[in-house]
Amino acid sequence: MPPGTNLAVLYYRHAFRDSTYHGGEQVGMPFRLETDIAIARYVRYLSVAGFTVDVQAIVPFGSVRLSQPASSVPNGAGDPFLGTAIWLLNDQIAKRYLAFGAFPGIPIGSYDATKGPVNVGSNQWQGIFQISYGQPIYGNLAFDVTGEYALYGANNDFAGLTYRQKPTYELQAHLRYALTPLTTVA
């Protein structure tokens, strides 16, 4: 978006899980987990030294409902993320973009150590790094790809234990279609 633009965005996701796996094999025990998570996101676009840059504040909130094998229903705010992205390539004419983003997660969300993994907050520092590229494919159809690397600090209060998580890697690919100059479907 052009520098000076402010965005307020709200995302919502409902997910239902009824099985669990260990070592690639489904575990034969009853399992039911539902989540309703929303994310409030504020974005401000700026121009810094000729580059488009944004600053972001991201706050997840919602509920996690485990009904089997035990019952637990935590609600509240998750760990907020503050971050920024810089567009290293911002070709408005050819509509090609390359951006790098960094988003630290701050462990201040709703967390109850006795509930272990069934929490809205994670009680651990996080760092997410992304690189994204996008360009048109044909006409109003465009392709975006994002590579993500995430690091996690230790949670020293995880049901009386210490929880450590290895870094994760993710690749996201998206197609976008511009219905009008102001409306896009992806």
Q: How far apart are CA 41 and CA 28, in angstroms?
A: 39
Distance between start and end Cα atoms, the chain: 17
Cα Rg of the chain (Å, integer): 19
Residues 6+ away with beta carbon under 8 Å from 179: 140, 185
Residue type, position 156, single letter: N
Query: What is the predicted pLDDT for the residue at 22?
Result: 85
Read out DSSP for the chain? Answer: --TT-EEEEEEEEEEEE---EETTEE--S--EEEEEEEEEEEEEEEEETTEEEEEEEEEEEEEEEEEESS-B--EEE---EEEEEEEEEEETTTTEEEEEEEEEE-S-S---GGGTT--SS-SS-EEEEEEEEEEEEETTEEEEEEEEEEEE--EEEETTEEE----EEEEEEEEEEEEETTEEE-
Per-residue pLDDT of 133-173, as tens digits, reads: 999 999 999 999 999 999 999 999 988 889 999 999 999 99
* pLDDT, position 125: 97
Answer yes or no: are the C-beta atoms of 27 and 48 closer than 8 Å.
no
With a pLDDT cut of 90, the percent of the chain lying above it is: 76
- Round to whole Å and give the CA distance between 70 and 63: 16
pLDDT computed for residue 74 by the predictor: 81
- What confidence score (pLDDT) does residue 29 get? 78
pLDDT at 70 over 80: no
Token match 């994310």: residue?
39
The tens digit of pLDDT for each residue in 88-132 reads 999 989 999 999 999 999 999 999 888 877 889 999 999 999 999
- Contact between 77 and 60 under an 8 Å Cβ cutoff? The reply is yes
What is the overall mean pLDDT for the chain? 93
